[in-house]
Chains A and B, each alone.
Chain A
């Protein structure tokens, strides 16, 4: 069997195409089909010494749009993904709260959090589509991905402020209820991590809370605990990102 490895440029094009079509809400199966077909074409073309421009034309973005236009948006698939992503994002927040004690939410908080999750997801997908179809530098890519995160963070802060001013009915959970919800939330985070094939949510959750939790059993004062905990959190997240980056480079 003849094996030919795609050039970096072609590999990147196929990856970008997948990301673009996925964040445009296309069907997974159809995405795989066209991506594989194009990959075969690129492999064969490269073996014959053709450049990628000969295949996708001078504008990869235009070509991606052409393909996207021929594919139907799969709303049924999205009916599955959107709740999964929204609930996972909310689970993340619930688990954070649970470590501070029993759960208690105002109606405004619950509604705001759902809106926040939807906004966050929408923003990230728009950013995905942009970086996948436009040739941008690594730095610009990072900054563009940061944008929806910043915007939804600001929204979240505003939500907390508004919630403290306007009082809406509050739902309190006892210890038992809190733990049950916590377990459900945890299983969603795990499920999401398996589905998305990334441990990023679990790592951040552990990095944020485990150090403080363990430190609370030590004899350090409150301020040293806070500082040491924060340093460990940054080191853990830094180590994880470094490891992910190395894995990504190793693949190439």
Chain B
């Protein structure tokens, strides 16, 4: 399964988190995602997500002049978006805990050799 497929649904939450940290525009978000290691995701993927989140009222956008010249569209979280981020974090923490414990219990000591074991954090 590719990283992109696994990321579906999670990327929304990541974007909400990035936007909450600081009002930002599309290119910036893509850069941040890539800095965090999501470089297999094509950068344009964020726009359909942003369009949906805007329609659902999770984010708002405003066009501002930039130092480089062209007008950029800056996104920020709404009250609803903040709530959605909180819900996402609860869901994610639960998911992470379950997935980690499955991996830990089921694969530990069974000689998984494809390198995934090294990324599992032991609690």
Contacts and interface: CB of A to CB of B under 8 A. Distances in A.
Contact of B42 (A33, A37, A40, A56): A56
A3 B25 CA distance: 19
B43 interface: yes
A71 interface: yes
Contact of B48 (A1, A33, A69): A69
Contacts of A2: 68-69
B121 to A, nearest CB: 30
Given A41-B43, A41-B44, 6 more contacts: A37-B26, A37-B73, A41-B26, A43-B70, A63-B44, A70-B48
Contacts of A58: 42
Interface of A: 1-3, 33-34, 36-38, 40-41, 43-45, 50, 53-58, 63, 66-67, 69-71
A37 to B, nearest CB: 5
A40 B72 CA distance: 7
Interface in B28-58: 30, 42-45, 47-48, 51-52, 55
A43 B71 CA distance: 12
Nearest to A30: B51
B51 A55 contact: no
B62 to A, nearest CB: 12
